[in-house]
Amino acid sequence: MQVATMGFDRFNVLSDDDAQARIRAARAKLGSRAVLLCHHYQRADVYQHADLTGDSLKLARLASQAEAEYIVFCGVHFMAEVADMMSQPHQIAILPDLAAGCSMADMANLAKVSRCWRELTEVLGNPDDLITPVTYINSAADLKAFCGEHGGIVCTSTNAPTIMDWAFAQRDKVLFFPDQHLGRWTGFKQGIPLEQMVVWDPDQEYGGLTAEQIRNARVLLWKGHCSVHQMFQESHIRRWRMQHPDGLVISHPESNLDVCRNSDYVGSTEYIINTIKAGAPGTHWLVGTELNLVNRLAEEVKPEGKVVQFMAPNVCMCSTMQRIDPQHLAWTLENLVEGKVVNRITVPEHEARLARVALERMLAVS
């Protein structure tokens, strides 16, 4: 049984303390029947209940290995889709709030990517012979299916360099969507000249590019970005280094190229966590990624005398990830206790079959 919003109003008025108590009680009743997966960007009052945590690559693997009947994904919509596609047929993937989406993922859709593919056909001939489509895991299931159908693959911020190598081993060009910054940084680190990485604007004919630019490009970067990571600027790093000349800067590769080039370390959320935890006691860090993760990490390493600061002067967090709150989680779990499934995420089988091809390629290559 699937229920979309039944009875949520009475949970929406719960105090945070009441919601937390009801989460704990429901979890005790469910036992091993439910597993909670949380992304590192999840708010602290939900993250504390996680059974398993990680970045997108780690959570994709964990979803494929989960044995629980219910996989409750405290993240965003595309992550729950991955859980549905990578789990067993009898397992149920659930997103506590269907409004928890991803603005970056929304910047590329199947209609626009298909139009891009048709326009590339007009300029280059059959793109299946010339271009490997690579979609960041932050994308809808139908775009993962598009990559599966056209000899492409999925990547994460952890494995993007390995995936880019694989993509070029298949064909001469790469179409990378939806995040231009991750694609540009990955190509830059692989030694691809910036002039051979051009931005495809899906709202313009032929991406706003000339036929010559398309033919000369090695990487076509979709015009998309993360609303959080675009806030970080090179000027933030310069000002901080003036005050902390011995400090270390670490950034997520969804940040722009100037931020990445001026950072001491660049990597995924998992990489950021591991690098700072492995750092010497007393070190001072400036971190360019989502605020919830930075605040949690700062508290964890404080006993070692490490100082962790958020890069942007203004507060910016993943607002859609924030939508999963204790009230939604309590509502979800109590419904499961009563034998009701709310907010089940189901990917149509024709999409899931092709998307799994691209996801399994990624896991095999990684």
Domain ranges (residues) in the chain? 2-101+320-348, 105-227, 229-310
**Helix residue ranges, H only, the chain:** 9-12, 16-30, 44-47, 56-65, 77-86, 103-106, 110-124, 141-149, 160-170, 180-189, 211-216, 234-243, 257-261, 269-278, 291-301, 326-337, 349-365
Pairing mode of beta strands 2-3, 265-266: unpaired
> pLDDT 10s per residue in the chain (366 long)?
344 455 787 888 889 999 999 999 999 999 999 999 998 888 889 999 999 998 777 887 888 888 899 999 998 888 899 999 988 899 999 999 998 878 888 899 999 999 999 999 999 999 899 999 999 999 999 999 999 999 999 999 999 999 999 999 999 999 999 999 999 999 999 999 999 999 999 999 999 999 999 999 999 999 999 888 899 999 999 999 999 999 999 999 999 999 999 999 999 999 999 999 999 999 999 999 988 899 999 999 999 999 999 998 776 555 566 678 999 999 999 999 999 999 999 999 999 999 999 999 999 998
Determine the Cα–Cα distance for residues 354 and 219; give it in Å rounded to an integer. 23
3-state secondary structure of 210: coil
What's the CATH code, domain 105-227?
Answer: 3.40.50.10800
C-alpha separations of 256 from 105, 191, 231, 318 in Å:
17, 17, 9, 17
Report the CATH architecture of 2-101+320-348. 3-Layer(aba) Sandwich (3.40)
Domain 229-310 has CATH 3.40.50.10800: yes
CA angle 280, 281, 286 (to 5 degrees): 75
CB 133 within 8 A of CB 355: no
- Matching CATH topology for 105-227 and 229-310? yes
